[in-house]
Structure 1
Amino acid sequence: MEKIARQLIESATLRITGAGLALIIGLNSPITAHADEAYAKNLLKSMSDYMSAQKNISFNYDTDYEVTTKEKQKLALSASGTTVISRPDKIRNTRASGFVDMEILFDGKTLTLFGKNVNAYTQVEVPGTLDNLIDVLRKKYDRPLAGADLFVSNPQASLMTGVNDIKDLGSGVISGVECDHLAFRTKEVDWQIWIAQGERPYPCRYVITSKRVEGGPQFSIRLSDWKTGNEVAADDFTFNNSTNAKKIDLKDLPNGDDLPKNFVKGPAK
Protein backbone atom coordinates (compact mmCIF):
# COMPACT_ATOMS: atom_id res chain seq x y z
CA MET A 1 0.00 0.00 0.00
CA GLU A 2 2.82 2.44 0.83
CA LYS A 3 4.38 1.83 -2.59
CA ILE A 4 1.09 2.77 -4.25
CA ALA A 5 0.89 5.90 -2.14
CA ARG A 6 4.40 7.01 -3.11
CA GLN A 7 3.66 6.51 -6.79
CA LEU A 8 0.40 8.42 -6.61
CA ILE A 9 1.48 11.46 -4.60
CA GLU A 10 5.28 11.75 -4.58
CA SER A 11 5.19 15.18 -6.27
CA ALA A 12 2.26 16.73 -4.40
CA THR A 13 1.63 18.92 -1.36
CA LEU A 14 -1.26 19.91 0.92
CA ARG A 15 -1.88 23.08 2.90
CA ILE A 16 -3.41 22.60 6.36
CA THR A 17 -6.46 24.86 6.69
CA GLY A 18 -7.92 26.37 9.82
CA ALA A 19 -10.58 23.69 9.84
CA GLY A 20 -7.90 21.01 9.60
CA LEU A 21 -6.04 22.56 12.54
CA ALA A 22 -9.22 22.52 14.59
CA LEU A 23 -9.61 18.82 13.83
CA ILE A 24 -6.03 18.11 14.91
CA ILE A 25 -6.61 19.96 18.18
CA GLY A 26 -9.81 18.04 18.75
CA LEU A 27 -8.07 14.71 18.35
CA ASN A 28 -5.72 15.50 21.21
CA SER A 29 -8.60 14.98 23.63
CA PRO A 30 -9.71 11.44 24.52
CA ILE A 31 -12.09 9.75 22.09
CA THR A 32 -14.47 7.68 24.15
CA ALA A 33 -17.23 5.90 22.25
CA HIS A 34 -15.13 5.06 19.20
CA ALA A 35 -11.59 4.71 20.54
CA ASP A 36 -11.58 0.91 20.55
CA GLU A 37 -8.80 -0.23 18.22
CA ALA A 38 -10.14 -3.77 18.11
CA TYR A 39 -13.54 -2.46 17.00
CA ALA A 40 -11.92 -0.45 14.20
CA LYS A 41 -9.96 -3.51 13.07
CA ASN A 42 -13.19 -5.51 13.04
CA LEU A 43 -14.90 -2.92 10.84
CA LEU A 44 -12.02 -3.06 8.37
CA LYS A 45 -12.08 -6.87 8.41
CA SER A 46 -15.82 -6.85 7.68
CA MET A 47 -15.20 -4.62 4.68
CA SER A 48 -12.33 -6.83 3.51
CA ASP A 49 -14.34 -10.05 3.91
CA TYR A 50 -17.28 -8.52 2.04
CA MET A 51 -15.07 -7.35 -0.83
CA SER A 52 -13.28 -10.70 -1.06
CA ALA A 53 -16.58 -12.57 -1.25
CA GLN A 54 -17.89 -10.62 -4.27
CA LYS A 55 -17.28 -12.30 -7.62
CA ASN A 56 -18.72 -9.47 -9.70
CA ILE A 57 -18.27 -5.80 -8.75
CA SER A 58 -18.83 -2.51 -10.53
CA PHE A 59 -18.61 1.11 -9.39
CA ASN A 60 -17.98 4.65 -10.55
CA TYR A 61 -15.21 6.70 -8.99
CA ASP A 62 -13.82 10.22 -8.71
CA THR A 63 -10.20 10.93 -7.79
CA ASP A 64 -8.28 14.00 -6.63
CA TYR A 65 -4.52 14.10 -6.98
CA GLU A 66 -2.70 17.00 -5.31
CA VAL A 67 0.41 18.56 -6.86
CA THR A 68 2.40 21.79 -6.57
CA THR A 69 4.31 23.77 -9.14
CA LYS A 70 7.91 24.91 -8.72
CA GLU A 71 6.45 28.22 -7.60
CA LYS A 72 4.71 26.41 -4.70
CA GLN A 73 1.24 26.89 -6.16
CA LYS A 74 -1.00 24.06 -5.03
CA LEU A 75 -3.17 22.42 -7.67
CA ALA A 76 -5.71 19.61 -7.48
CA LEU A 77 -6.10 17.40 -10.54
CA SER A 78 -9.37 15.50 -10.78
CA ALA A 79 -10.46 12.49 -12.81
CA SER A 80 -13.47 10.21 -13.04
CA GLY A 81 -13.90 6.66 -14.19
CA THR A 82 -15.59 3.29 -13.94
CA THR A 83 -14.45 -0.15 -12.85
CA VAL A 84 -16.00 -3.56 -13.59
CA ILE A 85 -14.47 -6.67 -12.01
CA SER A 86 -15.13 -10.38 -12.49
CA ARG A 87 -12.99 -12.44 -10.14
CA PRO A 88 -10.53 -14.01 -10.21
CA ASP A 89 -8.95 -12.57 -13.35
CA LYS A 90 -10.95 -9.95 -15.27
CA ILE A 91 -11.27 -6.17 -15.11
CA ARG A 92 -12.32 -3.20 -17.22
CA ASN A 93 -11.21 0.20 -15.93
CA THR A 94 -11.73 3.63 -17.48
CA ARG A 95 -10.33 6.98 -16.39
CA ALA A 96 -10.90 10.41 -17.91
CA SER A 97 -9.49 13.80 -16.97
CA GLY A 98 -8.57 16.96 -18.78
CA PHE A 99 -5.34 15.35 -19.95
CA VAL A 100 -6.03 11.66 -20.44
CA ASP A 101 -8.83 9.33 -21.53
CA MET A 102 -7.68 5.77 -20.87
CA GLU A 103 -9.27 2.32 -20.80
CA ILE A 104 -7.63 -0.79 -19.35
CA LEU A 105 -8.98 -4.27 -20.12
CA PHE A 106 -7.80 -7.63 -18.85
CA ASP A 107 -9.36 -11.01 -19.72
CA GLY A 108 -7.09 -13.23 -17.64
CA LYS A 109 -4.42 -13.47 -20.34
CA THR A 110 -4.08 -10.25 -22.31
CA LEU A 111 -3.75 -6.74 -20.93
CA THR A 112 -4.96 -3.99 -23.26
CA LEU A 113 -4.32 -0.29 -22.64
CA PHE A 114 -6.36 1.94 -24.95
CA GLY A 115 -5.62 5.66 -25.14
CA LYS A 116 -8.93 7.02 -26.39
CA ASN A 117 -7.67 10.58 -26.69
CA VAL A 118 -4.85 9.47 -29.03
CA ASN A 119 -6.81 6.57 -30.60
CA ALA A 120 -3.98 4.14 -29.98
CA TYR A 121 -3.62 0.94 -28.00
CA THR A 122 -1.06 -1.57 -26.83
CA GLN A 123 -1.33 -5.18 -25.66
CA VAL A 124 0.91 -7.36 -23.51
CA GLU A 125 0.52 -10.89 -22.22
CA VAL A 126 0.05 -10.99 -18.43
CA PRO A 127 -1.51 -14.37 -17.58
CA GLY A 128 -2.73 -14.76 -14.03
CA THR A 129 -5.09 -13.35 -11.46
CA LEU A 130 -6.29 -9.81 -10.87
CA ASP A 131 -3.88 -9.55 -7.93
CA ASN A 132 -0.99 -10.40 -10.24
CA LEU A 133 -2.15 -7.84 -12.79
CA ILE A 134 -2.35 -5.10 -10.15
CA ASP A 135 1.18 -5.94 -9.04
CA VAL A 136 2.52 -5.98 -12.62
CA LEU A 137 0.87 -2.66 -13.49
CA ARG A 138 2.32 -1.06 -10.39
CA LYS A 139 5.86 -2.45 -10.33
CA LYS A 140 6.69 -3.25 -13.95
CA TYR A 141 4.75 -0.64 -15.90
CA ASP A 142 4.34 2.17 -13.31
CA ARG A 143 0.62 2.41 -14.11
CA PRO A 144 -1.15 1.73 -10.79
CA LEU A 145 -4.91 1.30 -10.79
CA ALA A 146 -6.71 3.89 -8.68
CA GLY A 147 -7.81 2.41 -5.34
CA ALA A 148 -6.39 -1.03 -6.14
CA ASP A 149 -5.83 -1.78 -2.44
CA LEU A 150 -9.60 -1.89 -2.06
CA PHE A 151 -10.31 -4.67 -4.54
CA VAL A 152 -7.38 -7.08 -4.28
CA SER A 153 -8.34 -10.55 -3.03
CA ASN A 154 -7.48 -9.64 0.58
CA PRO A 155 -7.83 -5.86 1.11
CA GLN A 156 -7.15 -6.07 4.85
CA ALA A 157 -3.70 -7.63 4.35
CA SER A 158 -2.75 -5.01 1.77
CA LEU A 159 -4.07 -2.04 3.74
CA MET A 160 -2.72 -3.04 7.16
CA THR A 161 0.93 -3.44 6.12
CA GLY A 162 3.04 -1.31 8.47
CA VAL A 163 0.07 0.16 10.39
CA ASN A 164 1.11 1.39 13.85
CA ASP A 165 -1.86 3.51 14.91
CA ILE A 166 -5.62 3.03 14.47
CA LYS A 167 -8.57 5.29 15.25
CA ASP A 168 -12.31 4.88 14.87
CA LEU A 169 -13.64 8.39 14.20
CA GLY A 170 -17.32 7.47 14.33
CA SER A 171 -19.79 8.13 11.52
CA GLY A 172 -19.51 10.16 8.35
CA VAL A 173 -21.72 10.60 5.30
CA ILE A 174 -20.36 10.15 1.76
CA SER A 175 -22.72 10.91 -1.14
CA GLY A 176 -25.69 10.34 1.16
CA VAL A 177 -24.40 7.00 2.49
CA GLU A 178 -23.75 6.77 6.24
CA CYS A 179 -20.31 5.30 6.82
CA ASP A 180 -17.91 4.26 9.56
CA HIS A 181 -14.87 6.55 9.42
CA LEU A 182 -11.52 4.97 10.29
CA ALA A 183 -8.00 6.45 10.35
CA PHE A 184 -4.68 4.56 10.21
CA ARG A 185 -1.03 5.54 10.37
CA THR A 186 2.18 3.96 9.10
CA LYS A 187 5.74 5.25 9.09
CA GLU A 188 5.39 6.72 5.61
CA VAL A 189 1.68 7.47 5.10
CA ASP A 190 -1.53 8.25 6.94
CA TRP A 191 -4.72 6.90 5.42
CA GLN A 192 -8.43 7.08 6.05
CA ILE A 193 -11.34 5.00 4.87
CA TRP A 194 -15.11 5.45 5.01
CA ILE A 195 -17.03 2.15 4.99
CA ALA A 196 -20.76 1.93 4.29
CA GLN A 197 -22.78 0.83 7.30
CA GLY A 198 -25.20 -2.09 7.03
CA GLU A 199 -25.18 -5.43 5.25
CA ARG A 200 -22.97 -4.23 2.40
CA PRO A 201 -19.84 -2.70 4.02
CA TYR A 202 -18.21 -1.46 0.83
CA PRO A 203 -15.62 1.35 0.76
CA CYS A 204 -17.09 4.77 -0.04
CA ARG A 205 -13.98 6.93 0.24
CA TYR A 206 -10.24 6.30 0.65
CA VAL A 207 -7.63 9.00 1.33
CA ILE A 208 -3.85 8.60 1.44
CA THR A 209 -1.64 11.35 2.91
CA SER A 210 2.10 11.17 2.32
CA LYS A 211 4.54 11.71 5.17
CA ARG A 212 7.59 11.45 2.90
CA VAL A 213 6.76 14.50 0.79
CA GLU A 214 6.97 18.03 2.16
CA GLY A 215 3.51 19.43 2.91
CA GLY A 216 1.74 16.08 3.15
CA PRO A 217 0.02 15.75 -0.27
CA GLN A 218 -3.06 13.60 -0.63
CA PHE A 219 -4.60 11.20 -3.09
CA SER A 220 -8.31 10.50 -2.60
CA ILE A 221 -10.90 8.33 -4.31
CA ARG A 222 -14.69 8.31 -3.88
CA LEU A 223 -16.71 5.29 -4.98
CA SER A 224 -20.36 5.49 -6.05
CA ASP A 225 -23.08 3.53 -7.86
CA TRP A 226 -21.88 0.37 -6.11
CA LYS A 227 -23.14 -2.89 -7.64
CA THR A 228 -22.43 -6.58 -7.03
CA GLY A 229 -23.57 -10.00 -8.23
CA ASN A 230 -26.39 -9.98 -10.76
CA GLU A 231 -26.57 -6.18 -10.58
CA VAL A 232 -23.37 -6.01 -12.61
CA ALA A 233 -23.88 -5.89 -16.37
CA ALA A 234 -22.27 -8.71 -18.34
CA ASP A 235 -18.90 -7.91 -19.95
CA ASP A 236 -16.52 -10.04 -22.02
CA PHE A 237 -13.45 -7.90 -21.04
CA THR A 238 -11.93 -8.14 -24.52
CA PHE A 239 -10.81 -5.22 -26.66
CA ASN A 240 -13.05 -4.39 -29.61
CA ASN A 241 -11.17 -2.03 -31.90
CA SER A 242 -14.29 -0.23 -33.11
CA THR A 243 -12.42 3.05 -33.74
CA ASN A 244 -9.68 1.50 -35.89
CA ALA A 245 -7.11 2.55 -33.29
CA LYS A 246 -3.42 2.23 -34.11
CA LYS A 247 -1.45 -0.46 -32.28
CA ILE A 248 1.75 0.90 -30.77
CA ASP A 249 4.46 -0.13 -28.30
CA LEU A 250 3.69 0.32 -24.63
CA LYS A 251 6.52 2.85 -24.24
CA ASP A 252 4.84 5.09 -26.83
CA LEU A 253 1.45 5.15 -25.11
CA PRO A 254 0.96 8.14 -22.75
CA ASN A 255 1.36 7.05 -19.14
CA GLY A 256 -2.06 8.36 -18.16
CA ASP A 257 -1.05 9.87 -14.81
CA ASP A 258 -3.45 12.83 -15.22
CA LEU A 259 -0.62 15.39 -15.41
CA PRO A 260 -0.41 18.07 -18.13
CA LYS A 261 2.43 17.61 -20.62
CA ASN A 262 4.31 20.60 -19.21
CA PHE A 263 4.41 19.05 -15.71
CA VAL A 264 7.53 17.21 -14.55
CA LYS A 265 7.57 15.20 -11.34
CA GLY A 266 10.15 16.25 -8.79
CA PRO A 267 11.91 14.01 -6.27
CA ALA A 268 10.35 13.17 -2.92
CA LYS A 269 11.88 14.91 0.09
Structure 2
Amino acid sequence: MNVRPTPLSVRPARAAFLGLALAALVGAACSPKPAALTDAERLAKGKEILVKAAQRAASAQSLSLDVAQEVTRDAPGGTRKTQKLTNQVHLRRPDRLHMASKGDLQRDFWYDGAKATIALHGEKVFGEAAMPNTVDGAIEAITTRYDVPVPMAELLVTNAPTFLGEAAGGAGWVDTVDLNGVKAEHLSFTTGETKWQVWVSQGAEPVILQAHIEYGARKTKPTHHMVFSNWKFNDTFADDMFVAKFGDDYEGIAMLQRAEQVTEAKDATAIAAAAPAASAPAAAPVAKPAAAAPKAH
Protein backbone atom coordinates (compact mmCIF):
# COMPACT_ATOMS: atom_id res chain seq x y z
CA MET A 1 0.00 0.00 0.00
CA ASN A 2 1.35 3.45 -1.00
CA VAL A 3 1.40 5.97 1.76
CA ARG A 4 1.63 9.67 0.92
CA PRO A 5 4.28 11.35 3.01
CA THR A 6 2.87 13.63 5.59
CA PRO A 7 4.11 17.20 6.02
CA LEU A 8 6.01 16.07 9.08
CA SER A 9 7.86 13.36 7.11
CA VAL A 10 9.31 15.87 4.58
CA ARG A 11 10.32 18.53 7.06
CA PRO A 12 13.73 17.00 7.90
CA ALA A 13 14.79 16.86 4.23
CA ARG A 14 13.50 20.31 3.51
CA ALA A 15 15.19 21.67 6.58
CA ALA A 16 18.46 20.07 5.59
CA PHE A 17 18.24 21.59 2.09
CA LEU A 18 17.43 25.03 3.47
CA GLY A 19 20.29 24.72 5.92
CA LEU A 20 22.76 23.95 3.15
CA ALA A 21 21.49 26.86 1.02
CA LEU A 22 21.74 29.22 3.96
CA ALA A 23 25.26 28.05 4.71
CA ALA A 24 26.28 28.67 1.10
CA LEU A 25 24.87 32.18 1.19
CA VAL A 26 26.53 32.96 4.49
CA GLY A 27 29.81 31.57 3.20
CA ALA A 28 29.63 33.67 0.07
CA ALA A 29 28.82 36.77 2.07
CA CYS A 30 31.70 36.16 4.42
CA SER A 31 34.30 35.28 1.77
CA PRO A 32 36.83 38.06 1.29
CA LYS A 33 36.31 40.33 -1.70
CA PRO A 34 39.24 40.86 -4.08
CA ALA A 35 41.36 43.68 -2.83
CA ALA A 36 40.86 46.95 -4.70
CA LEU A 37 43.78 47.81 -6.96
CA THR A 38 45.96 50.72 -6.04
CA ASP A 39 46.48 53.52 -8.56
CA ALA A 40 49.91 52.14 -9.38
CA GLU A 41 48.50 48.65 -9.89
CA ARG A 42 45.74 49.96 -12.17
CA LEU A 43 48.27 51.81 -14.28
CA ALA A 44 50.57 48.78 -14.49
CA LYS A 45 47.69 46.48 -15.41
CA GLY A 46 46.43 48.89 -18.05
CA LYS A 47 49.87 49.23 -19.61
CA GLU A 48 50.33 45.48 -19.67
CA ILE A 49 47.04 44.98 -21.53
CA LEU A 50 47.73 47.81 -23.97
CA VAL A 51 51.30 46.78 -24.69
CA LYS A 52 50.22 43.20 -25.38
CA ALA A 53 47.72 44.39 -27.99
CA ALA A 54 50.29 46.78 -29.45
CA GLN A 55 52.91 44.03 -29.68
CA ARG A 56 50.54 41.90 -31.70
CA ALA A 57 49.98 44.67 -34.23
CA ALA A 58 53.63 45.78 -34.27
CA SER A 59 54.98 42.27 -34.85
CA ALA A 60 52.67 41.49 -37.77
CA GLN A 61 54.41 41.75 -41.13
CA SER A 62 51.11 42.76 -42.65
CA LEU A 63 47.63 43.53 -41.43
CA SER A 64 44.31 44.95 -42.51
CA LEU A 65 41.36 46.35 -40.58
CA ASP A 66 38.27 48.50 -40.88
CA VAL A 67 37.82 51.65 -38.81
CA ALA A 68 34.60 53.60 -38.33
CA GLN A 69 35.77 57.06 -37.32
CA GLU A 70 34.24 60.29 -36.07
CA VAL A 71 36.48 63.34 -35.88
CA THR A 72 35.19 66.44 -34.07
CA ARG A 73 37.17 69.70 -33.99
CA ASP A 74 36.74 73.41 -33.43
CA ALA A 75 35.31 75.29 -36.39
CA PRO A 76 34.90 79.01 -37.20
CA GLY A 77 32.29 80.82 -35.15
CA GLY A 78 32.97 78.94 -31.95
CA THR A 79 31.27 75.76 -33.16
CA ARG A 80 32.41 72.15 -33.28
CA LYS A 81 32.29 70.23 -36.55
CA THR A 82 32.09 66.43 -36.83
CA GLN A 83 33.31 64.41 -39.78
CA LYS A 84 32.30 60.76 -40.14
CA LEU A 85 34.45 58.33 -42.08
CA THR A 86 34.78 54.63 -42.73
CA ASN A 87 38.37 53.60 -43.37
CA GLN A 88 40.02 50.49 -44.72
CA VAL A 89 43.66 50.13 -43.73
CA HIS A 90 46.14 47.83 -45.49
CA LEU A 91 49.71 47.68 -44.16
CA ARG A 92 52.67 45.61 -45.31
CA ARG A 93 56.00 46.10 -43.61
CA PRO A 94 58.49 47.50 -44.05
CA ASP A 95 57.37 49.99 -46.69
CA ARG A 96 53.78 49.75 -47.95
CA LEU A 97 50.55 51.36 -46.71
CA HIS A 98 47.12 52.04 -48.22
CA MET A 99 44.09 53.71 -46.65
CA ALA A 100 40.72 54.19 -48.33
CA SER A 101 38.26 56.59 -46.69
CA LYS A 102 34.59 57.04 -47.48
CA GLY A 103 31.79 59.03 -45.93
CA ASP A 104 32.12 62.78 -45.41
CA LEU A 105 35.47 62.59 -47.21
CA GLN A 106 36.24 60.43 -50.24
CA ARG A 107 39.99 59.87 -50.10
CA ASP A 108 42.70 57.33 -50.90
CA PHE A 109 46.21 57.36 -49.52
CA TRP A 110 49.04 55.25 -50.94
CA TYR A 111 52.60 54.87 -49.68
CA ASP A 112 55.09 52.89 -51.79
CA GLY A 113 58.31 53.17 -49.82
CA ALA A 114 59.45 56.42 -51.42
CA LYS A 115 56.48 58.77 -51.70
CA ALA A 116 52.94 59.25 -50.47
CA THR A 117 50.09 60.02 -52.83
CA ILE A 118 46.74 61.37 -51.68
CA ALA A 119 43.71 61.57 -53.97
CA LEU A 120 40.57 63.49 -53.00
CA HIS A 121 37.90 61.99 -55.21
CA GLY A 122 35.19 64.54 -54.55
CA GLU A 123 37.44 67.38 -55.69
CA LYS A 124 39.29 65.29 -58.30
CA VAL A 125 42.71 66.42 -57.10
CA PHE A 126 45.82 64.60 -55.94
CA GLY A 127 49.12 65.44 -54.31
CA GLU A 128 52.45 63.72 -53.78
CA ALA A 129 55.17 64.11 -51.16
CA ALA A 130 58.53 62.46 -50.60
CA MET A 131 58.49 60.13 -47.61
CA PRO A 132 60.95 58.20 -45.43
CA ASN A 133 61.61 54.63 -46.54
CA THR A 134 59.64 52.82 -43.82
CA VAL A 135 55.99 52.65 -42.80
CA ASP A 136 56.91 54.02 -39.38
CA GLY A 137 58.58 57.06 -40.89
CA ALA A 138 55.76 57.61 -43.37
CA ILE A 139 53.09 57.46 -40.65
CA GLU A 140 55.01 59.97 -38.56
CA ALA A 141 55.49 62.36 -41.47
CA ILE A 142 52.01 62.18 -42.92
CA THR A 143 50.24 62.60 -39.58
CA THR A 144 52.41 65.24 -37.96
CA ARG A 145 53.64 67.29 -40.92
CA TYR A 146 50.72 67.05 -43.32
CA ASP A 147 47.83 66.54 -40.89
CA VAL A 148 46.51 63.44 -42.67
CA PRO A 149 45.02 61.28 -39.91
CA VAL A 150 46.00 57.62 -39.78
CA PRO A 151 43.48 55.78 -37.57
CA MET A 152 45.22 54.90 -34.30
CA ALA A 153 48.66 55.59 -35.74
CA GLU A 154 50.08 55.15 -32.24
CA LEU A 155 49.42 51.41 -32.47
CA LEU A 156 50.62 50.74 -36.02
CA VAL A 157 54.27 51.72 -35.68
CA THR A 158 56.74 49.02 -34.68
CA ASN A 159 58.03 50.90 -31.63
CA ALA A 160 54.51 51.28 -30.22
CA PRO A 161 54.94 48.74 -27.37
CA THR A 162 58.03 50.53 -26.04
CA PHE A 163 56.61 54.02 -26.53
CA LEU A 164 53.27 53.21 -24.94
CA GLY A 165 54.83 51.37 -22.04
CA GLU A 166 57.04 54.34 -21.21
CA ALA A 167 54.81 57.29 -22.08
CA ALA A 168 51.33 56.25 -20.99
CA GLY A 169 50.19 57.65 -17.65
CA GLY A 170 46.87 58.28 -16.01
CA ALA A 171 44.33 55.82 -14.71
CA GLY A 172 45.37 52.67 -16.59
CA TRP A 173 42.88 49.83 -16.21
CA VAL A 174 39.35 51.06 -15.49
CA ASP A 175 37.08 48.02 -15.60
CA THR A 176 35.85 45.07 -17.65
CA VAL A 177 32.84 45.75 -19.85
CA ASP A 178 30.63 44.06 -22.40
CA LEU A 179 31.21 45.77 -25.74
CA ASN A 180 28.65 44.58 -28.27
CA GLY A 181 28.76 41.06 -26.87
CA VAL A 182 32.55 40.95 -26.47
CA LYS A 183 34.29 41.10 -23.10
CA ALA A 184 36.69 44.02 -23.18
CA GLU A 185 39.12 45.74 -20.85
CA HIS A 186 38.47 49.47 -20.59
CA LEU A 187 41.71 51.46 -20.29
CA SER A 188 42.32 55.19 -19.79
CA PHE A 189 45.60 57.04 -20.25
CA THR A 190 47.07 60.51 -20.48
CA THR A 191 50.13 61.31 -22.59
CA GLY A 192 51.11 64.95 -22.33
CA GLU A 193 47.95 66.88 -23.14
CA THR A 194 46.39 63.95 -24.98
CA LYS A 195 43.72 61.93 -23.20
CA TRP A 196 42.71 58.61 -24.63
CA GLN A 197 40.56 55.66 -23.77
CA VAL A 198 40.96 52.23 -25.31
CA TRP A 199 38.86 49.08 -25.17
CA VAL A 200 40.86 45.85 -25.69
CA SER A 201 39.36 42.41 -26.20
CA GLN A 202 40.13 39.76 -23.59
CA GLY A 203 41.99 36.57 -24.41
CA ALA A 204 45.38 35.34 -25.58
CA GLU A 205 45.17 37.33 -28.85
CA PRO A 206 43.85 40.78 -27.90
CA VAL A 207 42.91 43.47 -30.39
CA ILE A 208 41.81 47.07 -30.04
CA LEU A 209 38.02 47.21 -30.35
CA GLN A 210 37.40 50.90 -29.74
CA ALA A 211 39.29 54.08 -28.93
CA HIS A 212 38.48 57.67 -27.99
CA ILE A 213 41.27 60.26 -28.15
CA GLU A 214 41.25 63.94 -27.18
CA TYR A 215 44.18 65.96 -28.54
CA GLY A 216 44.28 68.83 -26.08
CA ALA A 217 47.44 70.46 -27.43
CA ARG A 218 46.21 70.88 -30.98
CA LYS A 219 44.81 74.19 -32.09
CA THR A 220 41.37 72.85 -33.05
CA LYS A 221 41.12 70.49 -30.03
CA PRO A 222 40.13 67.47 -32.13
CA THR A 223 38.62 64.32 -30.69
CA HIS A 224 38.74 61.02 -32.54
CA HIS A 225 36.28 58.21 -31.79
CA MET A 226 37.09 54.97 -33.58
CA VAL A 227 35.54 51.52 -33.74
CA PHE A 228 37.85 48.81 -35.10
CA SER A 229 36.71 45.62 -36.80
CA ASN A 230 37.85 42.87 -39.18
CA TRP A 231 41.41 42.73 -37.89
CA LYS A 232 43.43 40.39 -40.14
CA PHE A 233 47.02 39.71 -39.19
CA ASN A 234 49.62 38.63 -41.75
CA ASP A 235 47.12 39.28 -44.51
CA THR A 236 48.25 39.03 -48.14
CA PHE A 237 47.89 41.81 -50.71
CA ALA A 238 48.54 42.16 -54.40
CA ASP A 239 51.35 44.62 -55.16
CA ASP A 240 48.99 46.98 -56.97
CA MET A 241 47.14 47.57 -53.67
CA PHE A 242 49.84 50.14 -52.94
CA VAL A 243 49.95 51.75 -56.39
CA ALA A 244 48.07 55.05 -56.75
CA LYS A 245 45.05 54.88 -59.04
CA PHE A 246 42.88 57.78 -60.13
CA GLY A 247 41.48 59.28 -63.30
CA ASP A 248 43.36 61.22 -65.95
CA ASP A 249 41.11 64.19 -65.22
CA TYR A 250 42.47 64.64 -61.68
CA GLU A 251 44.46 67.83 -61.14
CA GLY A 252 47.80 67.70 -59.35
CA ILE A 253 48.29 70.05 -56.39
CA ALA A 254 51.26 70.68 -54.12
CA MET A 255 51.26 69.23 -50.59
CA LEU A 256 52.62 71.73 -48.08
CA GLN A 257 53.77 70.96 -44.58
CA ARG A 258 51.86 72.63 -41.80
CA ALA A 259 54.11 74.34 -39.28
CA GLU A 260 51.62 73.99 -36.44
CA GLN A 261 51.45 70.26 -37.02
CA VAL A 262 55.20 69.91 -36.57
CA THR A 263 54.99 71.83 -33.30
CA GLU A 264 52.04 69.81 -32.05
CA ALA A 265 53.37 66.45 -33.20
CA LYS A 266 54.88 65.59 -29.83
CA ASP A 267 51.44 65.05 -28.40
CA ALA A 268 49.81 63.49 -31.44
CA THR A 269 51.54 60.26 -32.45
CA ALA A 270 54.01 57.62 -31.35
CA ILE A 271 56.96 59.06 -33.25
CA ALA A 272 59.58 58.38 -30.62
CA ALA A 273 62.06 56.70 -32.96
CA ALA A 274 60.48 57.27 -36.31
CA ALA A 275 61.61 59.20 -39.36
CA PRO A 276 64.47 61.65 -39.64
CA ALA A 277 62.12 63.73 -41.81
CA ALA A 278 60.83 65.36 -38.64
CA SER A 279 63.93 67.54 -38.54
CA ALA A 280 63.18 69.15 -41.92
CA PRO A 281 62.03 72.80 -42.04
CA ALA A 282 58.40 72.98 -41.06
CA ALA A 283 57.08 75.06 -43.93
CA ALA A 284 59.00 73.56 -46.83
CA PRO A 285 56.90 71.98 -49.59
CA VAL A 286 58.05 68.49 -50.50
CA ALA A 287 55.51 67.60 -53.15
CA LYS A 288 56.08 67.92 -56.86
CA PRO A 289 54.45 70.95 -58.46
CA ALA A 290 51.14 70.27 -60.11
CA ALA A 291 52.57 70.61 -63.59
CA ALA A 292 55.24 68.02 -62.95
CA ALA A 293 53.08 65.54 -61.10
CA PRO A 294 52.02 62.52 -63.15
CA LYS A 295 48.33 62.02 -63.72
CA ALA A 296 48.32 58.20 -63.67
CA HIS A 297 50.30 55.65 -61.69
TM beyond 0.5: yes
Select the residue among 32, 36, 41 that pairs with 1:32. Answer: 36
Could you tell me which residue of structure 2 aligns to residue 186 of structure 1? Answer: 191
Amino acid at match of 1:180: E
Could you tell me which residue of structure 1 aligns to residue 276 of structure 2? Answer: none
Could you tell me which residue of structure 2 aligns to residue 163 of structure 1? Answer: 168
Amino acid at match of 1:184: F
TM-score, normalisation: structure 1: 0.70
1:52 aligns with 2:58: yes
Could you tell me which residue of structure 2 aligns to residue 262 of structure 1? Answer: none
Select the residue among 137, 142, 148 that pairs with 1:143. Answer: 148
Could you tell me which residue of structure 2 aligns to residue 128 of structure 1? Answer: 133
Q: Decide which structure has greater helix share.
A: 2
Select the residue among 34, 45, 49 that pairs with 1:43. Answer: 49
Q: Which runs of 5+ in 2 are unaligned?
A: 1-34, 257-297
Single out whichever of 139-148 and 46-55 deviates more from structure 2. Answer: 139-148
Amino acid at match of 1:192: Q
Could you tell me which residue of structure 2 aligns to residue 256 of structure 1? Answer: none
How much has 1:191 moved relative to structure 2?
1.1
Larger radius of gyration: 2
What do the CA deviations read for 1:144-201 (whole angstroms, capped 9, x no partner)?
3221111111223344564332321222344443221111123412211111222321
Instruction: Kindly indicate whether the alpha-carbon contact (under 8 Å) linking 2:201 and 2:208 is maintained by their aligned counterparts in 1.
Output: yes
Amino acid at match of 1:250: A
How much has 1:58 moved relative to structure 2?
0.5
1:78 aligns with 2:84: yes
SS in 1 for 2:82: strand
SS in 1 for 2:248: coil
Could you tell me which residue of structure 2 aligns to residue 9 of structure 1? Answer: none
SS in 2 for 1:198: coil
How much has 1:228 moved relative to structure 2?
1.4
Select the residue among 62, 71, 81 that pairs with 2:68. Answer: 62
Work out the percentage of aligned pairs sharing the same amino acid: 20
What do the CA deviations read for 1:24-80 (whole angstroms, capped 9, x no partner)?
xxxxxxx92696232222112211211111111101111112235566555533211
Counterparts of 1:169 and 1:71, CA distance in 2: 36
SS in 2 for 1:134: helix
Instruction: Kindly indicate whether the alpha-carbon contact (under 8 Å) linking 2:100 and 2:109 is maintained by their aligned counterparts in 1.
Output: yes
SS in 2 for 1:250: coil
CA RMSD of aligned residues (A): 2.9
Q: Aligned pairs, how many?
A: 219
- Which structure has more relative contact order (CA 8 Å, sep 6+)? It is 1
Select the residue among 92, 95, 99 that pairs with 2:101. Answer: 95
Counterparts of 2:202 and 2:142, CA distance in 1: 32
Could you tell me which residue of structure 2 aligns to residue 108 of structure 1? Answer: 113
Counterparts of 1:137 and 1:190, CA distance in 2: 21
1:246 aligns with 2:241: no
